[in-house]
Structure 1
Amino acid sequence: MTSSHYTKQFLCLSSAVGVCLPAYGALFAPDIASNQSMEWAAGNWAVGGTTQPDNPDLVGNDSAFINDGKTVNVNASVPKVDLINIENINNNGSTVNVNSGGTLATNRLDLSERNASGTLNILTGGSFTVSDRTLVGFRGGSGGGFININGGSFLNDATGSREIIVGRSGNITLNSGSFTATGSSASHTLQFGGGLAGATSGTGAGGTLSININGGTFNAGGGQVLMSSLTTVNVTGSNAMITMDRLSLDTASRAATINFDFDSTGISTIQGNDFLRLSNAGLNIDGTDYAGGSDVFVLFSSTDLQSISSNVTITGFDPGEYTAVLTQDQGGSEDVFLTVTAIPEPSVVSFALAALGFGFIRRRH
């Protein structure tokens, strides 16, 4: 059965249910058993295919908490709420799946509190919009917050300078689809990683953030991208389109690490308009899977390379097959690029030398 309440106190269901809403909003309480999922479809919440008509529509000042190892599946458009919090009670991680046809929107997104994980999966045909910041792994939580984009779209539609993803432990993976958080002015800073503004410990304190870009479109253009020193960007393969305008990794607090992991044909470029600052960045380039020929691969494009990285590691390219040289081209193209040169097979070299010698002998006669 279901129930709905309107009070002026904060209401939270028991761990047997795992969903609660805020003081001033509506409480929806489907009779959901352990490991069952709750589903939004056709304008109502349903459990096991059974519509729950007593649940009120959520409104703009409501908050939704999904706890206790529960799963919420969103298959239709859900009214926008003020806060979505995925797991803040115990050690059982909870999940929200935004499936094909599902749209979910909130002002704030909180993922993972205490030692439980909170996971947001955005699948093909699904969309998620947040109009403020996303906070991951807060209040000392070690479980971590996870955003996985597999064909769907994640949009931060706020404007001006702002925190995009902050907190203690976060992981964003873009396999396909899109991640969008843009500015409309060069002065608009877009913060990835680090603590919530004003927090030095506990809730919102800074921690690790991993941004894994394997495909799709990652768009952080239009403003100035900042990353904390505990942020790692992993660019894998050559199937992504990546924009990070005015990437500034130029202070000790912005000493982020960017890893480029080549696939068999190459690597995706981090494209940027205007300046690029890399003086405190760590750059790691892995060519283990590369199987192509000689080529030049642009890792960062810019129009003004203001500072370069001195912390560069190149591994994985078989020294018997390739040479790989990184160029940070200040005063030239203003790009950062890797020149990969294939070393000819010994038999090819021997044949070429033999042909050269034969030609020399013929000319002597």
Structure 2
Amino acid sequence: MKKYKRIFVVVLDSLGIGAMPDAAKFGDANTDTFGHIVREYGKLNIPNLKKLGMYNLHPVTGESGVENPLGRFCKMEEMSNGKDTMTGHWEMMGLRIEKPFQTFTDTGFPKELIDELEKRCGKRVIGNKSASGTEILEELGEEEINTGAMIVYTSADSVLQICGNEETFDLQNLYRCCEIARELTMKDEWKVGRVIARPYIGKKKGEFKRTANRHDYALKPFGRTALNVLKDNGFDVISIGKINDIFVGEGITKAYHSDSSVHGMEQTIDMLPQDFTGLCFTNLVDFDALWGHRRDPIGYAKEIEKFDIKLGEFLEKMNEDDLLILTADHGNDPTHTGTDHTREAVFFMSYSKKFDGGKLLEPTDTFAVIGASVVDNFDLKMPEGTIGYSILDKL
């Protein structure tokens, strides 16, 4: 019989807790997203994370763990070869990625790809370089609006991003061009993890602002995951935020788009009075997109504090047979060089009102304990070829 009726997995996108043993190979030695945020910001006002055991798991200067933490927690290391959103989330649900997705950070996209994209979309490409999304709008937004061109750019991630002004480009046309880009980048030599539509509003430099109508066109998972098993056996799999995009709808029964991380937590709290049996899987992207990539530890710290307020509301409204799991998908140390994600371990932080006390659990060598434990809770088996093992007996 299932131990919990509902499991809520909430991903604090990019909140790593220290460099992995192989971090130097990725250029990420000595990174620590959470620790360095606290170092830069000072004392965080996060009473709920603290009482669950965040500082028991990851002590930082000026902070120590509580005597009787409420949560059960451990450090998780990533088995897959990568440090991006898809790699982290896919591994949580049982898939191990051996070959990292293609990046074009240093060179921009090949001429052959750009030529084909221009031909198919009917628009001239400008940009074609690695850039911050806000900076490239300041640089090229007016040119795009005035000439009808389209801004294509990448980052340190495996992404192809297309900007489009919602008034002059038209949102549906932007999505059409991104679908073409996704088709073209299925070739092995051009294969990026995600194509992202980046719509914005504004008419001139200084006024441009990206909107919440972003849409991710991710690669379809290469195999069945924990989500497929749950859905196929009649359980609810509710996605909040960009989870549906990351898994391209595979194994999802209902999806909700979020406008921000605070909104995503509000949507997750709104699920508590609903009668469902299964998994609610939430991604809170602002930590990563607004603060990590922009190397803003102060903004990141304030986002964590805003999350903690919502976490308190969630904990108060939980049912007796609910289980909450908090985690992250990679690091993005805002004090590190560059703008890329960082190769870090992440936290597994769980809580249920059924717990008879909290404790530190043994560290794991994969994020896939999450999916395996969820599936085990509903008396199911992980698909063949997946990784991970259940730690349900410890929760």
Considering fraction of residues, name the structure with more strand.
Answer: 1
- Give the TM-score taking structure 2 as reference length: 0.27
- Give the TM-score taking structure 1 as reference length: 0.29
**Which has the higher Rg, Structure 1 or Structure 2?**
1
Considering fraction of residues, name the structure with more helix.
Answer: 2
